[in-house]
Amino acid sequence: MRPWRIAIILGLAATLGAADRPVQKPAAPAGPPSEDLSIDSALVRVIEEVEVPTRVEGVLIELNVREGQMVARGELLARIEDTEPRLTLQRSTTEFEIARRQAKNGLKILAAKKASDLAASELRRAKVSLEKSSKSVADSELDHLQFAAEKARLEVEQATEDQKTAELTAELKDSERQLAQAAVDRRRIAAPLTGMVVQVYQHAGEWLAPGKSLLRVLRVDRLRVEGLVAVKKLLGDPTGRRATLLVDLPGRPASVFEGVVVFVSPEVNPVNGQVQVWAEVENHDLLLRPGLQGKLTILPEPPQTAKRDTQSK
């Protein structure tokens, strides 16, 4: 065979062998690494603030707080005159206790059952005696025994019904007691959250109307930091990433507060192409104040997280 024919055959064989082998695609380039996102003019705001209202009208007889005081959730802040509701609560509590005792007292049912058993036993003995001797028991006496047995049975049923009525009465008295307790509670004004009292609008001795604000409470141990980020800088969703706030405080320049990103707005401003970002930072020492501005930096994801995400893909 001529050499040029041999070369053609070998070339065709190599081409067919390459077609049978799977084609290996080039590895996709890795995505851009997470970067720091900085917001130079981030604004510090409160997360929670409450205008604490009064729920009933009356005279404010007790005020236990002042501006700048820290309070815990559920702590008693003030009290409206409540003499009549407290007396009503005492009466309702006593009536409920009486009704509860009556509902638990099963002596009447027990006594009725004992009397019924005795009447039924006497009736049985009279019938046995009558079977032995027709003249041993008079008809009038037998009728009396039958009447006594039936009456005793009905008294058991009546005692059982009285017990059920007593239980329902106890439930009714308990409801009245709870209503009286609610009337007292409405005159006790408690802190709705843990925070600082920043404004007190009313003072002891003044008449309060329902719905009128008594004081204002802010949560200050954890604050929100808001800022705007260009959407083109968001390589992914930064929600959950750590963040730091750099702010100059009086006597404490370049103070750093740590937090976490909790919200990224789904809306983009069509004018400047920015989205709103919120982070929450810890303020345990109460050095940070709402209204301050600073630099918010959203830190990159930890390397192990980024590596795990790449492997999952």
Q: What is the CATH number of the domain that holds 208?
A: 2.40.50.100
What pLDDT is attached to residue 36? 67
User: Domain residues for 53?
Assistant: 49-81+187-218
For 258-296, the pLDDT digits (tens) are 999 999 999 999 999 999 999 999 998 899 999 999 999
Confidence of residue 221 (pLDDT cuts 50, 70, 90): very high
Is pTM, for the whole model, over 0.75?
no
Tell me: do 127 and 248 sit in the same domain: no
Residue 125 in any domain: the answer is yes
Tell me: do 64 and 204 sit in the same domain: yes
What pLDDT is attached to residue 29? 41
What pLDDT is attached to residue 304? 56
Confidence of residue 191 (pLDDT cuts 50, 70, 90): very high
Tell me: do 170 and 210 sit in the same domain: no
Residue 21 in any domain: the answer is no
Residues in a beta bridge with 243 = 259, 298
Tell me: do 246 and 123 sit in the same domain: no
Whose CA is closest to 141, among 122, 161, 114?
A: 122
Tell me: do 141 and 155 sit in the same domain: yes
Residue 313 in any domain: the answer is no
pLDDT at 197 over 70: yes
Residue 180 in any domain: the answer is yes
Rg over CA atoms, the chain = 42
Tell me: do 167 and 287 sit in the same domain: no
For 128-184, the pLDDT digits (tens) are 887 777 767 677 887 888 888 888 888 888 888 988 999 999 999 999 999 999 999
Confidence of residue 2 (pLDDT cuts 50, 70, 90): low
Q: Which helix (H) or strand (E) holds 304?
A: helix 303-312
Residue 4 in any domain: the answer is no
pLDDT at 96 over 50: yes
**How far, in Å, CA of 250 to CA of 260, rounded?**
25
Q: Which helix (H) or strand (E) holds 53?
A: strand 49-53
| Percentage, residues of the chain above pLDDT 70 | 84
Pairing relationship of beta strands 188-190 and 242-249 according to DSSP bridges:
unpaired
Q: For the ranges 109-123, 144-158, 202-216, 296-310, which has the lowest average pLDDT?
A: 296-310
Tell me: do 176 and 240 sit in the same domain: no
Whose CA is closest to 165, among 102, 94, 93, 91?
A: 102
Tell me: do 93 and 181 sit in the same domain: yes
pLDDT averaged over every residue in the chain? 85
What pLDDT is attached to residue 303? 58
Residue 1 in any domain: the answer is no
Confidence of residue 214 (pLDDT cuts 50, 70, 90): very high
**How far, in Å, CA of 115 to CA of 108, rounded?**
11
From 160, 185, 210, the end of a domain falls on 185
Confidence of residue 5 (pLDDT cuts 50, 70, 90): low
Count of structural domains, the chain: 3
Tell me: do 193 and 59 sit in the same domain: yes
Residue 25 in any domain: the answer is no
Tell me: do 233 and 251 sit in the same domain: yes
Tell me: do 199 and 238 sit in the same domain: no
Q: Kindly state the tokens that stand for 128.
A: 């046995």
What pLDDT is attached to residue 35? 56
From 201, 218, 235, the end of a domain falls on 218
What pLDDT is attached to residue 244? 94
Cβ atoms of 43 and 228 closer than 8 Å: no
Report how far apart, in Å, the C-alpha atoms of 115 and of each of 25, 137, 142, 147, 284 are: 98, 21, 17, 13, 73
Higher pLDDT, 34 or 66: 66
Confidence of residue 11 (pLDDT cuts 50, 70, 90): low
**How far, in Å, CA of 121 to CA of 119, rounded?**
5
Q: For the ranges 152-161, 190-199, 251-260, which has the lowest average pLDDT?
A: 152-161
From 162, 185, 208, the end of a domain falls on 185
Tell me: do 116 and 131 sit in the same domain: yes
| Three-class SS state of 209 | coil
Q: What is the CATH number of the domain that holds 252?
A: 2.40.30.170
